[in-house]
Structure 1
């Protein structure tokens, strides 16, 4: 027997059954690794309505204000209905307010929109579910492309095309 350096109790040799028929019940101290496989924690339900199945993914929004930027994120898990509702709300907000600084116009807002597109695809693959008793799902609302406020994004996009075209044509 040897004494470990950080423990006052001596280590004892482990005796385990031999052969291919040796089986160990979960949590058995005779298993070769000490204990059986840990039980998996149950998958949490939607953070809004408690429905199952739910996907743990983050939805993002961005707001650009000339030199200041504001980032928002909402971590899952969300069910299909609540996830799509959150994505529609935060994507519409990003399309409205995300373009109003130079760095946001070029990099951050497009990245945020792509991130939310990936999230939308993940949530859309989930089957429809029912909320837990006493809770309600978020209303999905209209799709982003049918919300007039989302088309405000065309203003900075048109401005960027105009500015780049002006730089190219007057650069000679």
Structure 2
């Protein structure tokens, strides 16, 4: 008994038989048209439905709607001595905008006047005091000061102390007398210095009028007269 031959068809083509050509997938399933929008598609970009996940990635700088030069990598901090926007301060002993400049240490401070820079100075401290009932305020200016700047500071701080330094008990009997005594010594020390000449570009303090020619200095007469009256009242007005 013989086996019958298999039926002819595309899966089992017979000799001399050609299978019919299959239509492409794009013809059977055409892509859906893109929905209209307010912005047109950028030139060179694939329309919706035409993008292929297997397309080769675009090389940087290649043609395309966003083609252009890429920013350079971060330059990073340069090596010491190398110029650049992130260059650090120059290393001591090397070149730089401050090369050769001398810096003063704590023990090498200049001895000129702190106001005008004159070389002839005294290091005495000028002080001032204000007594306001229960609140007290202490001010001072430290030397070195030249003759003109020192005497100007003494006149200003002494006038302030004479007018405002009597209005609290501790100020009246302790701090104001000590402040006036300190400023008297300072005035004598600055007065013994030679005439000072400021360095170019700096100015001396204005000495102004002497203390006894300033009306604010005579406010001290108010507490003095009051306590004088309190002391002399039992004598002048006996019972």
Normalised by the size of structure 2, how large is the TM-score? 0.52
RMSD: 2.1
Alignment-derived partner of residue 63 in structure 1? 130
Q: How far 1:67 sits from its partner (Å)? A: 1.6
Answer yes or no: is 1:132 the counterpart of 2:204. Answer: no
Answer yes or no: is 1:122 the counterpart of 2:122. Answer: no
Deviations 1:67-101 (A, max 9, x none): 21111111111000000001100000001100111
The structure-2 alpha-carbon separation of the partners of 1:110 and 1:42, relative to structure 1 and needing over 3 Å to count, comes to same
1: CA distance, partners of 2:164 / 2:133: 11
Deviations 1:135-163 (A, max 9, x none): 01111000001111100110011111122
Q: Which runs of 5+ in 1 are unaligned?
A: 1-39
Equivalent residue for 1:109, pick from 176, 180, 185: 176
Q: How far 1:110 sits from its partner (Å)? A: 1.0
Q: Which runs of 5+ in 2 are unaligned?
A: 1-106
Q: Which has the larger radius of gyration?
A: 2
Normalised by the size of structure 1, how large is the TM-score? 0.71
Equivalent residue for 1:52, pick from 119, 125, 136: 119
- Equivalences for 1:2-21 in 2 at 5 Å? none
Q: Normalized per residue, which structure has more helix?
A: 1
- How many residue pairs get aligned? The number is 133
Q: How far 1:171 sits from its partner (Å)? A: 10
Answer yes or no: is 1:165 the counterpart of 2:165. Answer: no
Larger RCO: 1 or 2 (CA < 8 Å, sep 6+): 1
2: CA distance, partners of 1:110 / 1:171: 32
